[in-house]
A and B are shown apart, each in its own frame.
Chain A
Amino acid sequence: MSTYEQGIIILIGINIIAVLGVSILTGFTRVFSFGNAGFMAIGAYVSALLSLRAHAPFVAAILGGMAVAGAISWLLGKLTLGLRGDYFLIATLGFGECVRVLFEYLDPITGGARGMPGIPAKTTLPAVTISVVLAILLAWNFLHSRYGRNLMAIREQGMAAEAVGIDTAHYKTLAFVVSAIYAGWSGALYAHYLTFIAPNMFNLDKSAELTITVVIGGLGSLTGSVISTVLLTVLPEVLRAASTYRMLFYGVAVVLIITVRPAGLMGYREFSLAPLHRALDRWRARRLAAGTGAKP
């Protein structure tokens, strides 16, 4: 495999992790945020600083980036998740821009608008592969448990979710923090792959890109998010297109999808309660055998 091909796969992996976070937040909880690039930036810069200044080992640097992103998202979430959809959106957008502006301003620490070079190149193909597998596994387990189910309940009918005892504020915050941690993870890996980061890499375009990717893959489908990330990362490369065409493609694609096939590539599919159905079959079989409609 050539370095170029390896690079593509690493980029796909890094994007998948960030997209998974947004998928949980937007696809499964229906909370729209335009600030997740800001959390990627936090993950990137914190991990880079830990690697460069504190000479921290790779895993520690990544975890540090994730932790800080998570902590800040928890604070932001507490302040803003009570706001209505459009207002929350603007607040997260504002947050993303503030992070970028702040990192540009804190020149002595972050290198300002010129960026921070010299980050150790520790994101190898094996590292990304392990990360992606872990990220998907954790996301899957998270969603196929009462945590994921509660998020979907909140997505469907917030009032009914409360009526069955779900603390919607708590779970929305949880989804937001999870998405931020994933974004931080992605950012940290990105920093140690590119070895150079600058604030304008984590701008509004990037946040929009993450949401668009989830929409195209299908709101409410992890497989959809993974597939669309792969497609949207690979396609422009395959078509030998410059980055401008890539964004143009994104724009047209999302408009097409949302008007013609809003369910995206996968729609609600993939989340199936297959074990529940199997249990149902066994139940029916038992009833048939017992011959009556008696309860256990």
Chain B
Amino acid sequence: MIYDVVIIGAGPAGLAAGLYASRARLNTLIIEKEGEGGQIASTDEVANYPGSIQDASGPSLVARMVEQVDEFGAKRVIDEIKSVELDGKIKVLKGANEEYQAKTVIIATGAVPRPIGCPGEKDLTGRGVSYCATCDAAFFEDLEVYVVGGGDTAVEEGMYLTKFARKVTVVHRRDQLRAAKSIQEKAFKNEKMAFMWDSVVTELKGDGLLESIVVKNVKTGEEKEIFADEEDGTFGVFVFIGLDPATGLFTGLVDMENGYIKTDENMRTNIPGVFAAGDNRVKSLRQVVTATADGAIAADQAEKYISETFEA
């Protein structure tokens, strides 16, 4: 069977695209690797998506988006796409479980947290090093936590962590935060929050569990090792230093810039019938609100492309 639209990824961009496409009576399939929601599913509070005021958690927002998509009849499957053929009039996507054919493809694969890239990080992931506060905060009840980064996510997740941790220290490579002023104000008022400026993490150490971190002052070049409290034995490091686009599958096929897919304002990539939406494309603001807007535009453009290409 040949779908009108196959959407890769079921975060806000993919779900919005699925909603618009199925509402336009296109035969629509959304393929998701793990579970719906993408990054937002791991976000405790979504306070800046218009209308998400009460019960504004990431999971509840995603659940409502999924319900809406299902209502309009988009089909959803769990599969991991391993390779794609996008050049032909009919696009072919090979998944771990199945092969899919489509007239149009919307790439809504999003982005994943960027690692620090320092020694010890990989081995200690899940052993004190984390990229997901809602997943792991409860482990650090009454322990110390370090948050790496200085943007909105780092500071907001840091504040969330103060509900559990004894103390949360933000380690940031500049001398001021990049987070929105309203978020900064809250953070500076929070008694459990501390800040370590001009600093980067250069190594994470521990035998089985995280025991110490090495921090370097970027201005003086001085390095110091911070050890976990002896009684605690361990502590947490949460990393929020940005994102890497999940576009590896499309390298060399779709035009990109620093790994982000290049589109025009109508979400069209360089390949006819292939669109990109959400955090994986070149844009200035990566938020739920811009992801859903991208998804809507991509679905609308997919519909136009189908009628021009297949029904003329």
Q: Do A and B bind each other?
A: no
Chain A residues with CB under 8 Å of chain B are none
Which positions in B face A, CB cutoff 8 Å? none
